[in-house]
Amino acid sequence: MKFKILLALIFVNLIQAQKFYFPKTTVTDSVILDKQMPQLALKVITQLQSAKYKPENKVDYLDNLFRLQMATQDYQQSIASLSENRSLFADHNMGGYRLMGFELYSRAKLAQKENNMTFSNALQKVFNQKYDRLPEKLIPRLGLSLDANVPESRKQFKKILNKQKDKDSIDYKTALALCKAYVSYKTFSGIKPQVMQLLVSKDKERFITETKDITLKNGNTLTITIVRKKQNTTPLPVILTSNIYAGQIDDFFGKRAATYNYVGAVVNTRGKRNSNNVNNPFEHESEDIYDVIDWVSKQPWSNGKVGMIGGSYLGFSQWAAVKKLHPALKTIVPQVAVGIGIDYPAQNNIFMSYMLQWIQYVTNNKLTDEADFTNAAKWDSINTKWYKSGKAFRSLDSISGKPSKIFQRWLDHPGYDQYWQKMIPYKEDFSKINIPILTTTGYYDDDQIGALYYYKEHHQYNKNADHYVVIGPYNHGGAQSFGFTYVNGNPIDPVARISIDDLAFSWFDYILKGGKKPDLLKDRINFQVMNTNTWKHVSGLDKMHTSTLKFYLQDLKNTSSVFNKPGKKDFTSQTVDFTIRDDKDTYYKSGKKDSIKTTNSIVFESEVLDKEMIFSGNISGFFNVSINKKDFDTETSLYQIQPDGKSFLLSTHMVRASYAKDNAGRKLLTPDVIEQIPVNNSIFMSKKIEKGSKLLLLVGVNKNPNWQINYGTGKNVSDETVQDAGKPLEIKWYNDSYVEIPVYKD
């Protein structure tokens, strides 16, 4: 009996140990709050440093630690932690710029105490010192790091704090979030107005910045920002960016080009800043940019040569620009370029819910609606509400409370038709593009499919295309800035931690100033093999692998290897009921601390690999299936299960079956007849897979709030509702279906 009581007491103590005393009066009394926060942060630090809570990712650990140290008002230690965090990015000296505001606040607090001066005077002193000592290439990023949304940070802090109403204790997770939100609000509410003024003053000593409106030949008015370095008094090549995300980022793009000794020109698209024209994203770039290039090439500060740079939508803009090529445009550097109609707003003809969030982001006002766009809870709620309602995808904008003509217009074009084709080069248009091009993208880039689509089309229609690709372990942000130390929680090889800025402007020096070609560009395709700390260089995307391994859809119970072709034809059945909106998620447990979500998927597991191999390229192949409907959306994922049980996502693919063979023309499936669905336009990656690993292949059906739901009637999917679901979807996945695994050998 005593033993049971002792166990119970230990259990109670463990539960209590996960919570901290935090009086409920802190919610309503700011004086008490400011006294309690340092004490709470000290307790959280103790837990953070314990084995249970310490993150494996050192960047995440240090990021939490320095904020907690600021909350305890130990500014000496917070600066040390910030410095250690920055040292992890020493390869390119750019990773720590985002934390500049916290460093300035900490240093100002120390200077205030040490020199017995006002905080304002201390802040001015440390800011000027930091600006003057900062590497020149980091100066353009200062504005981005300091331009925090103070009202939003206050809102987030209050939201977390109010959850503590009528409570006298707080759990570790909430306490950590509260401390971080408190520090963010205190920091930027304390420094932003002053440092932004100081930044403008210091920049005026270095740059000449002009913002003006230009009227194009077509009668439209656009706002353009031009930035030059004061010391550059002779005409220079112009680096142009066409930017729909009007705001502080315009200043960054302009100053970045100027620091690399070019003229930076940033033009905003129709309807942004001072433009009163209608803002229809993507539709008019090709027409407008030609006139913009014509204008900038004739200005006194221009030597007549123009290059373009930018990522995502700004990458798309460059491909729009070369649909009708201006003679002054000598090169483009599209980064993580949106493949309009290819990977956005639909990926392989499946529209995504995110498109509405993005439309409102860029059209709600003359700049960008950051508060609405970053309100993840709001958009999750909207998408979930639509999903659970069973209403047509076309109703999503009405459910959001803000109907959108743009959203509806996009949905009217489910195939890759002339609406999309006219926005960018199409087929033979690519044959006329004879300027040098440098594309950058990443294995984790949301627009990788689009970025590589342009490369493939360019080389298909122009055999002499002077077009290079750099692809590595970068996400959407990294492939247009710098290689982060960690991506998706995984450390990337040191050799991949390059400055994409340096690469891009070295390219501009090469093309526009007769400089040396960047060392990394040893061949057309330059890719980093993860887990080997090496780059490889080949002449084409198809050369990223030297052989393939066919992974058949079969159970290891029936074969010695999933890589052997089945001797007898068979199938695996799957049933998906679209009327059910509270699916119970299923998981594959790969290790003690890792599992893979398998809801609405069939799992095929390989044998343990008896030797290492390099997965390099993207999955392809064919699915032989029969279904009881006229259409469905496939979803495929390939994982590596490492010897320690951790999972690693290698490639994904999704496609609307009726568009799988032709993205411009829909061909419905015949119910209960075996049809072949090709696997194309999947995600590229290159990574060494260790001996003792195994591969896990998930094939299934797309059914979640983030995408359209295809009920299989054959009608426009945007108009289908749950009333169209009828009987559950029944699929037979035949075992002669296979996914080809690309393998690279030296």
pLDDT in tens, 31-81: 999 999 999 999 999 999 987 888 878 888 999 999 999 999 999 999 999
For residue 245, pLDDT over 80 is answered with: yes
Q: What percentage of the chain carries pLDDT values higher than 90?
A: 89
Please give the pLDDT value at position 59.
82
Please give the pLDDT value at position 384.
97
Q: What percentage of the chain carries pLDDT values higher than 70?
A: 97
Q: How confident is the model at residue 479 (pLDDT cuts 50, 70, 90)?
A: very high
Cα 441 to Cα 477: distance, rounded to the nearest angstrom: 10
pLDDT in tens, 199-239: 999 999 999 999 999 999 999 999 999 999 999 999 999 99
The candidate with the shortest Cα–Cα distance to 671, out of 726, 598, 620, 738, is 726
Q: What mean pLDDT comes out for the span 278-286?
A: 96
Please give the pLDDT value at position 89.
67
pLDDT in tens, 709-728: 999 999 999 999 999 999 99
Q: How far is CA 284 from CA 213, 288, 344, 423, 602, in A?
A: 17, 6, 17, 7, 44
Classify 218 as helix, strand or coil.
coil
Neighbours of 367 (CB within 10 A): 16
Pairing outcome for strands 490-491 and 486-487:
antiparallel
Which residues contact residue 102 at a Cβ distance below 8 angstroms, ignoring those fewer than 6 apart? Answer: 66, 67, 70, 78, 82, 183, 187
Q: How confident is the model at residue 11 (pLDDT cuts 50, 70, 90)?
A: very low
pLDDT in tens, 367-399: 999 999 999 999 999 999 999 999 999 999 999
pTM for the model stands at 0.93
For residue 2, pLDDT over 80 is answered with: no
For residue 317, pLDDT over 80 is answered with: yes
Q: What is the phi/psi pair of residue 497, to 5°?
A: -85, 65
Cα 217 to Cα 589: distance, rounded to the nearest angstrom: 61
Q: What mean pLDDT comes out for the span 457-468?
A: 97
Q: How confident is the model at residue 593 (pLDDT cuts 50, 70, 90)?
A: confident
Partnered with residue 697 across adjacent β-strands are 604, 638
Please give the pLDDT value at position 6.
40
Q: How confident is the model at residue 497 (pLDDT cuts 50, 70, 90)?
A: very high
Contact 355, 341 (CB under 8 A): no
Contact 504, 333 (CB under 8 A): yes
Position 465: which residue type? Answer: A
Q: How confident is the model at residue 12 (pLDDT cuts 50, 70, 90)?
A: very low
How wide is the angle at C-alpha 198 spanned by C-alphas 74 and 129, nearest 5°?
55
What DSSP line would sit under 188-204, residue for residue?
HHHHHHHHHHHHHHHHH
The candidate with the shortest Cα–Cα distance to 141, out of 102, 107, 94, 103, is 94
Please give the pLDDT value at position 95.
60
For residue 9, pLDDT over 50 is answered with: no
For residue 597, pLDDT over 50 is answered with: yes
Please give the pLDDT value at position 54.
84
Choice among 324-338, 390-404, 577-591 with the minimum mean pLDDT? 577-591
Q: What is the phi/psi pair of residue 725, to 5°?
A: -60, -45
Please give the pLDDT value at position 3.
42
Q: What mean pLDDT comes out for the span 474-500?
A: 90
pLDDT in tens, 331-351: 999 999 999 999 999 999 999
pLDDT in tens, 140-154: 999 989 999 999 999
Please give the pLDDT value at position 53.
82
Q: How confident is the model at residue 13 (pLDDT cuts 50, 70, 90)?
A: very low
For residue 90, pLDDT over 60 is answered with: no
Q: How confident is the model at residue 7 (pLDDT cuts 50, 70, 90)?
A: very low
Mean pLDDT taken over the chain: 94
Please give the pLDDT value at position 10.
38
Choice among 85-94, 237-246, 498-507, 579-588 with the minimum mean pLDDT? 85-94
Which among 44-58, 470-484, 521-535 has the top mean pLDDT?
521-535
Q: What mean pLDDT comes out for the span 442-459?
A: 98
Please give the pLDDT value at position 503.
97
Please give the pLDDT value at position 482.
86
Cα 208 to Cα 647: distance, rounded to the nearest angstrom: 51
Cα 705 to Cα 75: distance, rounded to the nearest angstrom: 44
Please give the pLDDT value at position 746.
86
The candidate with the shortest Cα–Cα distance to 705, out of 574, 581, 577, is 581
